[in-house]
């Protein structure tokens, strides 16, 4: 059964094309910075936003009446969604997908039935993967939606809920391995708190670390060699999420001796919710050797919540790709569109327009970032800006050769040299020029 009859595979037609169902900048085979765009960008479809989001918001009912959801039987519907998801990815040229267990199969009456259902759907997904060559970027479990997780999963005050969450993670890791997933993600859905009047934060954080150590051990036991990732987010659904931002997660990983086993999955809209830029979060992960993968989306400056919009802001994608290229590329990671169409964009063809817009914006971002790096625009400026640490006094500081007494003697004798301008506006002007002029 074909659901997108009016769409052939989306092809690159160049920036002058007026074809709305074509890529203007994403040219999968074009080589940028030594690799094809396809291999540089490693685009992934989020199963949840693309095939299980029906347009519900806190004020209104579903708006997306999908033709592939016509069966009354939950398993038949789930199977049809697999087929349409692969038709969509093939036509949109998306080489990877990401999923939660709950996205692909309906929950059963108990864990046993849920797991059996997962096995059936995983079988169908595997056939489609074989047919299309599309791969799994990462899997995860949904340990936040069900009412049992009302007080959290690994940080629940109820030990039986902790056990249930562990059982779900165990199964989700097994099926991610079965699907050849290159990473496994932990987003702390309800791992956080609303009030300290009823919360033992010390125990909750220790328990979260225990759960993650168990996951590390189990990955080793079953031979899952994918990268484990933590996805920071400061708030929503809880008022205070424990995995607040990159720096908070790094401190947690270091405290609990987990640094060797985890990297981070950085989401743009989570960065801005934490009052950081997307680039800041990528930068913090990069300089700590912990940049794993990316959830590509954008928020809305005027709204204070996680709007998960498709990324169309070229500045953000240039600066994100800049950090990613400085890190040597995405490696096992990818750009997962953790993005959803607006509730009013309810037509199924809106899925194509939104992915095309997101993929083109990142493709262009990649090219501009690669040119900025090639020409040494900001890196040469930075090298000169910090040149005082290359010799003499500065080199002694960097080499840890001197302390307060020697520094005081230096200051008393020499004072300070004249500061030079930071030239922010000049650099912003150059950035604009590259965005507008790069071929």
List 316, 338, 348, 360, residue binding Co ion (CB under 5 A): 338
- The structure tokens 């009912």 sit at 61
Of 275 and 417, CB closest to ligand XUL: 275
Buried b (16+ CB within 10 A) or exposed e, 302-314: eeeebbbbbbebb
- Span of 101-109, 175-183, 263-271, 396-404 interacting with Co ion by CB under 5 A: 263-271
List 182, 267, 323, 348, residue binding ligand XUL (CB under 6 A): 267
Phi, psi of 218 (to 5 degrees): -70, -40
Catalytic residue among 103, 306, 308, 327: 103
Rounded Cα distance, 393 and 391, in Å: 6
Q: Contact, 28 vs 42, CB < 8 A?
A: no
Of 27 and 142, CB closest to Co ion: 142
By CB under 6 A, residue 243 contacts ligand XUL: no
By CB under 6 A, residue 187 contacts ligand XUL: yes
By CB under 6 A, residue 245 contacts ligand XUL: no
By CB under 5 A, residue 295 contacts Co ion: yes
By CB under 6 A, residue 271 contacts ligand XUL: no
| Residue 244 exposure: Cα atoms within 13 Å on the Cβ side | 11
Footprint of ligand XUL on 324-383 (CB under 6 A): 338
Q: Residue 254 is encoded by which pair of tokens?
A: 């270091």
Q: Contact, 46 vs 98, CB < 8 A?
A: yes
Q: Contact, 125 vs 79, CB < 8 A?
A: no
Residue 43 vs residues 105, 128, 248, 332, 420: alpha-carbon distances, Å: 23, 18, 27, 12, 42
By CB under 6 A, residue 185 contacts ligand XUL: yes
The partner in contact with residue 306, picked from ligand XUL, Co ion, none with C-beta cut-offs of 5 to 8 angstroms by kind, is ligand XUL
Buried b (16+ CB within 10 A) or exposed e, 332-349: bbbbbbbbbbebebeebe
Of 294 and 369, CB closest to Co ion: 294
Of 57 and 73, CB closest to ligand XUL: 57
Of 231 and 281, CB closest to ligand XUL: 231
List 101, 267, 306, 348, residue binding Co ion (CB under 5 A): 267
Least separation in angstroms between CB 187 and ligand XUL: 4
Alpha helix positions (H), 19-158: 37-41, 47-51, 74-92, 101-104, 111-132
Kind plus residue range of the DSSP H or E element containing 426 = helix 424-437
List 81, 233, 280, 286, residue binding ligand XUL (CB under 6 A): 233
Least separation in angstroms between CB 439 and Co ion: 33
Rounded Cα distance, 202 and 200, in Å: 6
By CB under 6 A, residue 295 contacts ligand XUL: yes
Rounded Cα distance, 134 and 91, in Å: 11
Which residues, at least 6 apart from 128, have a Cβ–Cβ distance to it below 8 Å?
Answer: 82, 83, 85, 86, 134
Is 100 an annotated catalytic residue? yes
By CB under 5 A, residue 306 contacts Co ion: no
The partner in contact with residue 125, picked from ligand XUL, Co ion, none with C-beta cut-offs of 5 to 8 angstroms by kind, is none
List 306, 323, 348, 360, residue binding ligand XUL (CB under 6 A): 306
Q: Which residues bind ligand XUL (CB under 6 A)?
A: 100, 140, 185, 187, 231, 233, 267, 295, 306, 338
By annotation, the residues acting in catalysis are 100, 103
Q: Which residues bind Co ion (CB under 5 A)?
A: 267, 295, 338
């Amino acid at each position: 059964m074909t659901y997108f009859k009016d769409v052939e595979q989306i092809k690159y037609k160049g920036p002058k094309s007026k074809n709305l169902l074509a890529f203007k900048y994403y040219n999968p085979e074009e080589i940028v910075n030594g690799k094809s765009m396809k291999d540089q960008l490693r685009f992934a479809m989020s199963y949840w936003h693309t095939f299980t989001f029906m347009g519900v918001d806190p004020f209104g009912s579903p708006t997306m009446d999908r033709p592939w959801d016509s069966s009354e039987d939950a398993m038949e519907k789930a199977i049809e969604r697999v087929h349409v998801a692969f038709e969509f990815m093939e036509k949109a040229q998306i080489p990877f997908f990401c999923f939660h267990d709950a996205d692909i199969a309906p929950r059963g009456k108990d864990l046993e039935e849920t797991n059996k259902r997962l096995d059936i759907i995983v079988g169908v997904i595997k056939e489609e993967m074989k047919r299309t060559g599309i791969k799994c970027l990462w899997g995860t479990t949904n340990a936040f939606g069900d009412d049992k997780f009302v007080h959290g999963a690994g940080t629940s005050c109820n030990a039986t809920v902790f056990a249930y969450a562990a059982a779900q993670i165990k199964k989700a890791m097994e099926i991610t391995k079965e699907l050849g997933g290159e990473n496994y993600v932990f987003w702390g859905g309800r791992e956080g708190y609303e009030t300290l009047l009823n919360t033992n934060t010390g125990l909750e954080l220790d328990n979260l670390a225990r759960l993650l150590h168990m996951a590390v051990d189990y990955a080793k036991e079953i031979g899952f060699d994918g990268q484990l990732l933590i996805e920071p987010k400061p708030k929503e659904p809880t008022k205070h999420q424990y995995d607040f931002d990159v720096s908070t997660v790094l401190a947690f990983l270091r405290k609990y001796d987990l640094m060797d086993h985890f990297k981070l999955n950085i989401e743009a809209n989570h960065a801005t919710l934490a009052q950081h830029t997307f680039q800041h979060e990528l930068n913090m992960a990069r300089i700590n050797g912990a940049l794993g993968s990316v959830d590509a989306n954008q928020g809305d400056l005027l709204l204070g919540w996680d709007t998960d919009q498709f990324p169309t802001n070229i500045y953000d994608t240039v600066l994100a790709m800049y950090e990613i290229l400085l890190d040597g590329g995405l490696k096992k990671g990818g750009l997962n569109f953790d993005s959803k169409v607006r509730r009013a964009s309810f037509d199924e063809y809106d899925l194509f327009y939104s992915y095309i817009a997101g993929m083109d914006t990142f493709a262009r971002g990649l090219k501009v970032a690669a040119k900025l790096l090639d020409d040494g625009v900001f890196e040469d400026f930075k090298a000169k800006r910090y040149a005082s640490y290359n010799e003499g006094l500065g080199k002694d500081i960097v080499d840890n050769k001197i302390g307060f007494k020697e520094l005081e003697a230096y200051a008393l004798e020499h004072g300070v040299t004249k500061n030079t301008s930071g030239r922010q506006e000049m650099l912003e002007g150059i950035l604009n020029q590259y965005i507008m002029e790069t071929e």
